[in-house]
Structure 1
Amino acid sequence: MGSEGIMKDVTKQGKATVLALGKAFPHQLVMQEYLVDGYFRDTNCDNPELKAKLARLCKTTTVKTRYVVMSEDILKKYPELAVEGTSTIKQRLEICNEAVTQMAIEASRACIKKWGGSLSGITHLVYVSSSEARLPGGDLYLAKGLGLSPETQRIMLYFAGCSGGVAGLRVAKDIAENNPGSRVLLATSETTIIGFKPPSLDRPYDLVGVALFGDGAGAIMIGSNPILETERPLFELHTAVQEFLPNTEKKIDGRLTEEGISFRLARELPQIIEDNVEGFCDKLMGVVGFQNKEYNKLFWAVHPGGPAILNHIEKRLDLLPDKLDASRRALMDYGNASSNTIVYVLEYMIEERLKNIKNDQEDHEWGLILAFGPGITFEGILARNLCA
């Protein structure tokens, strides 16, 4: 399907829709039950206190498996990555820039295949990553790797963290709705190598990241006025909102240093999200007439930053136990893969909806897509489920 086919019947520009999803992962699969021994072996550390702490964290994160770029071959080639206090930013970026591009290409190809259109039909590219830094950016390398036209309009979102996937959806929605006939490819790609460090008593919080985060890529095709003969819309992106909470800049604190990315999440982060999530969701719900407290009449696609955040949201909104199943499944299977994870959540949402339809179970047309990132920034989209 070329661009000439997409340009038909655009006199009335509709809401942006999700037309296809795709994902990709590195080859290293990590089982949570083996992570502790492997991590301490790879970093040549044998501190019983830190080892016991990581073992506890691995149980509380609810993660079972995730994928990582890090491998024995990489550590053999770059042993300095496991040495405390070593300047390794050059080496990390050398690994990360190549890895995130390759994963983004694979996820995008999977998405394009499901969409069913041609490369010539892609008019815009939005690329999201907190795992690379270079000029030109990864958006250009992704476009080149896919074979997109040099006229494809590109935008790059750097270091948006866990909210990056939904932020990318918001940007893609704006592009699709303001450029008749456009088809926007959103790609996200992340690897934890940018922040990989040996365990340290001076940095006990780093173990949270070791127990929680994973690598991978995601891709979404977005466009308005879908051509129903050839395209299959999955979600309508009705209304998008971004909001930051004043004076919370240090609650998610990340810095690019000589040793890679160093970050710290405040202990009170889940509580801060709980205290503010209700008002934020009410704004989005009110757009289509939902009343306050009608949260269980919606579906919920929430970026799973961690089990504590999901638990706090569930508690504050008094959600039924199954409402966050897709988020919990994504966390269990892939860990927190930063900006990518919302793609995995949406895939599980589609799977659950089709199962409900097949079993004649109750299903909901409207729902919220949510993520929380540095700022603290809330990203939210009121969405309509179009799966059938």
Structure 2
Amino acid sequence: MSETDANGASKHYATTSRRAPTLGKATLLAIGKAFPGQLIPQECLVEGYIRDTKCDDASIKDKLERLCKTTTVKTRYTVMSKEILDKYPELATEGSPTIRQRLEIANPAVVEMALKASMACINEWGGSVEDITHIVYVSSSEVRLPGGDLYLASQLGLRNDVGRVMLYFLGCYGGVTGLRVAKDIAENNPGSRILLATSETTILGFRPPNKARPYDLVGAALFGDGAAAVIIGANPVAGKESPFMELNYSVQQFLPGTQDVINGRLSEEGINFKLGRDLPQKIEDNIQEFCSKLMSKAGLTDFNDLFWAVHPGGPAILNRLESKLKLNEEKLRCSRRALMDYGNASSNTIVYVLEYMRDELKRGGEEWGLALAFGPGITFEGILLRSL
């Protein structure tokens, strides 16, 4: 086991990992993911969306086709299906008060996906559900009391004194927030094992196109559904657990005066989003200082000395970040790959990026990296990572 030497420096736990984790620091121990049954190739999306919403405006179709090409997305998963639209045709009718119907679909769907992702994660981890002491559940796709955290804990068979944290409506940065919260729990509760589960569906925002709501088409071209799960814990058990990444240091900050740049409102028709055109520029203007704050904890100054796990909100944000920080082209490869394979799946996406990054780092690479996500606020979430 690790101990503190005479000089006060931390010695590390000996494991079979390439690098040993730091005593007391939270680590990622396993990953799982799950998706609904409908896989949509991007080249099929336009015809399907126009058909399902009974849109006969050629200009809208042309714009959606252009957007589908610029997003770089190739495939996405979705809960929405022909069977759902046959049962709830009002979902495709402009102005229909359908929040009740949407929640009837979304509430069980997100828990079902979270359950599958969690089971896959627990299976990879190799531990028992009895060993899970806390659950952090993240979703911007359900509204109810009690929340999905309770339903997920019950369906997994977690013990009834499991500590539950529910993170609602954080949007795209929710996955990194979940990691930060789980890190704090792990490092302040010795022996704890935290299940982080994220689950999202676009059902709440599905609606027919309207020229008065141009962002609806961006959402149709970009967003996808799915779930993800991670087991987090400090001081992994040698020979039984396989830590692959350390959550070394975390920072959250918001940009004052930007709360209207990403704007979401629940209404009788579902959730309506408005996205300011200046979002990529706002992120570009503030990203260097934010990343430098995280990097300073490891004594790093060169952005290309790190690996990068960035939530791919869209290609414009990735391009701006790459240009501003003068990153080598391969640095955002995992983020671009996750966007291509799954679209922007909101809080889940950072976990998909981390899974791709884990596979890359097995072949060697940098010791230090950053996990980043951006969302309403404008909120920046960042974690200094250490590859093990």
TM-score (norm 2): 0.94
Distance 1:31 1:223 in 2: 37
Aligned to 2:347: 339
Give yes or no for the alignment of 1:121 onto 2:118. Answer: no
Q: Are the counterparts in 2 of residues 13 and 180 from structure 1 also a CA contact under 8 Å?
A: no
Give yes or no for the alignment of 1:178 onto 2:227. Answer: no
Q: 1:147 is matched with which residue: 147, 157, 160? A: 157
Q: Are the counterparts in 2 of residues 50 and 204 from structure 1 also a CA contact under 8 Å?
A: no
Give yes or no for the alignment of 1:191 onto 2:193. Answer: no
SS of the residue 2:94 aligns to: coil
Aligned to 1:323: 331
Return the offset for 1:73: 0.1
Distance 1:205 1:375 in 2: 18
Distance 2:244 2:230 in 1: 11
Distance 2:298 2:215 in 1: 42
Aligned to 2:56: 46
Q: 2:212 is matched with which residue: 195, 202, 216? A: 202
Q: Deviations over 1:206-263 (max 9, x none)?
A: 1000000000000000000000210000110000100000000000000111111100
Distance 1:180 1:163 in 2: 27
Distance 2:218 2:56 in 1: 18
The amino acid of 2:199's aligned partner reads S
Q: Are the counterparts in 2 of residues 24 and 218 from structure 1 also a CA contact under 8 Å?
A: yes
Aligned to 2:373: 371
Aligned to 1:222: 232
SS of the residue 1:322 aligns to: helix
Q: Are the counterparts in 1 of residues 98 and 270 from structure 2 also a CA contact under 8 Å?
A: yes
Distance 2:183 2:253 in 1: 17
Q: 1:96 is matched with which residue: 106, 111, 114? A: 106
Give yes or no for the alignment of 1:308 onto 2:310. Answer: no
Aligned to 2:44: 34
Aligned to 2:14: none
Alignment of 1:238-249 (within 5 A): 238-249=248-259
Gaps of 5+ in 1: 1-11, 358-362
The amino acid of 1:370's aligned partner reads L
Alignment of 1:249-268 (within 5 A): 249-268=259-278
Aligned to 1:353: 361
Identical-pair percentage: 68
Alignment of 1:15-34 (within 5 A): 15-34=25-44
Distance 1:346 1:182 in 2: 22
Gaps of 5+ in 2: 1-21
Q: Deviations over 1:78-124 (max 9, x none)?
A: 00000000000000001000100000000000000000000000000
Q: Are the counterparts in 1 of residues 215 and 273 from structure 2 also a CA contact under 8 Å?
A: no
Return the offset for 1:351: 1.4
Q: Deviations over 1:246-285 (max 9, x none)?
A: 0000000001111111001111101110110000000000
Q: Are the counterparts in 1 of residues 41 and 75 from structure 2 also a CA contact under 8 Å?
A: yes
Compare 202-211 and 16-25 and name the one that shifted more: 202-211
Q: Are the counterparts in 2 of residues 65 and 335 from structure 1 also a CA contact under 8 Å?
A: yes
Return the offset for 1:202: 1.5
Runs of 4+ aligned residues of structure 1 deviating over 6 Å after TM superposition are: none
Distance 1:248 1:175 in 2: 30
Distance 2:60 2:375 in 1: 27
